A = this chain, B = another copy of it.
Amino acid sequence: MPERLPDQTPVWDLSSVISGLQAERERWRTSHCRSIESGGREFPAPPAVHAAIKGIVAALFPMRLGPDTLRKEAEDYFVGSTLSCALGVLYEQARLELGGRSAATDPRAPALREAEAARQAETIIHGFAAALPAIRRLLDSDVEAAYRGDPAATSVDEILLCYPGVAAVIHHRVAHDLFLRGIPLVARIITEIAHSETGIDIHPGATVGESFFIDHGTGVVIGATAVIGRNVRLYQNVTLGAKRLVKGDGSMVDHDTPRHPIVEDDVVIYAGATILGRVTIGAGSVIGGNVWLTHSIPPGSQITQAQSQAGPEA
C-alpha cells in the first residue's frame, strides 16, 4: 500500500533550481557588465505600456473603441479622465526608458541623470499630447481609405470595430510619434502589442502617409526605415524589408541606415509581395501578388510575378 496518495503533490528541490537560475543570471550579468546588486525596474514594463496605449486608443475614438457604457454627452469627460491616466503612465515609462539608457552612457551622478531623464520625459509627453488631434485626423483618413478599399465593408464603423489593419495603423501612428520624440523602446512595445493582436509588424520608425490601408494583414512586415506615401494599400504577407544587413567590410549596418523601400503615393501591393532594399516604388504602381522585387520601378508600373523575377536589366 503506497504511503503517498496521488493527491499529495511531491516536493520539488526548489533550492537547487533557484541557485542554478541565480548562477545563470549572474553569469549573464557578469558577461554584460551589469553589477547592480539591488533596485527596481530599469526598463519600461509591457503591461504598463499596454494599459497606456489602450487608454489612448479609447480616447482617440471614444464612442467606437471606448467602453460600451460611454454616452456621447460624456465623451469629453471620458477623454480627459482617460488621457490624464494614460499620459501619467506613459511619462513613467518614458522616464524608465530614458533613465535606463542614460545609466549606461552618462557619467553624471544618478540624481542628475534621473532629473535629466524626468525633464526629457516631460517634454516628450507634452509634445505627444499636443499631437493627438493631428494623429486622430490622420487616422480618420486611414479609416476612410479602408472603407473605399474594401467592397466587403458595409460601413465606416465596421472598419474601426473589425479591421485589424486599422488597429495596427492606430498603434503605429501613436508609436511613430513617440519614436520620433526619443523613446523607441516604449514605441516598439506598442507596435509589438499590435503585432501580437493582428499579425501586422510595422516598425515604429517607419514613415507612413495619410490614407493608408492594410487589408487582412497577417504576415505584413514593414521595416524601420521604410517610407510610405499617401493613399497606399497593402494586403496580407507583404514585406517591405532590407536586402542586406552586412556592409562590405563585414560589419553590421547602422540601425538608422536607410535600407527599406520608399513607396510613393497611390501604390497598391498585393498579398505576399516582397520588396527589399532602399528601392523606390514609383507613384501609382501596382505590385502583383507574390512578386519579389529588389530594384526600383518608375511611377505607374504594373509588376506581376513573372516580370519581377527577371528584373529591370533583363
A95 and B7 alpha carbons, distance in the complex (Å): 10
Chain B residue at minimum C-beta to C-beta distance from A64: B43
A122 nearest CB neighbor, chain B only: B10
B71 touching A126 by the CB < 8 A rule?
Answer: no
A75 engages B25 (CB within 8 Å): yes
CB-CB nearest in chain B for A225? B152
- Taking a contact as CB atoms under 8 Å apart, the answer to whether A3 and B111 are in contact is yes
Q: Tell me if A272 and B272 are in contact (CB < 8 A).
A: yes
A88 and B59 within 8 A (CB): no
Given contacts A37-B72, A77-B76, contact A274 B276 (CB under 8 A): no
Closest beta carbon of chain B to A273's beta carbon, Å = 10
Q: Is the CB of A9 within 8 A of B88?
A: yes
Interface string of A258-286 (1 = CB under 8 A from B): 01000000000001101010000000000
Given A38-B11, A72-B38, A305-B292, A136-B21 contact (CB < 8 Å): yes
Given A59-B21, A126-B13, A216-B221: A6 in contact with B117 (beta carbons within 8 A) = yes
Chain B nearest CB, measured from A259 CB (Å): 8
Cβ–Cβ contact B152 & A255, under 8 A: yes
Q: Is the CB of A38 within 8 A of B289?
A: no
Q: Which residues does chain B contribute within 8 Å of A133, judged by CB atoms?
A: 17, 20-21, 23-24
- Among A69-92, those with CB < 8 Å from B are 69-85, 87-88, 91-92
Cβ of B140 and Cβ of A164 under 8 Å apart? no
Q: Does A180 sit at the interface, judged by CB under 8 A?
A: no
Q: Once bound together, how far apart are the Cα atoms of A10 and B249, in whole Å? A: 47
Closest to A7 in B: B7
| Contact present for A9 and B91 (CB under 8 Å) | yes
Which residues of A in the span 1-40 have a Cβ within 8 Å of any Cβ on B?
1-18, 20-25, 27-28, 32, 36-40
Minimum C-beta distance from A82 to chain B (A): 8
In the complex, how many angstroms separate the beta carbon of A172 from the nearest chain B beta carbon?
14
CA distance A77 to B17 in the complex (A): 12
Is A248 part of the contact surface with B, judged by Cβ < 8 Å? no
In the complex, A305 Cα to B306 Cα: how many Å? 12
A73 in contact with B17 given A92-B9, A100-B157, A272-B274 (CB within 8 Å): no
Chain A, range 186-209, C-beta contacts under 8 Å to B: 188-189, 192, 195-199, 201, 203, 205
The reply on A107 being an interface residue by CB < 8 A is: no
Q: What are some 11 contacts across the A-B interface (CB < 8 A)?
A: A8-B40, A12-B126, A24-B137, A25-B75, A39-B71, A48-B68, A100-B157, A152-B205, A162-B192, A218-B218, A236-B239
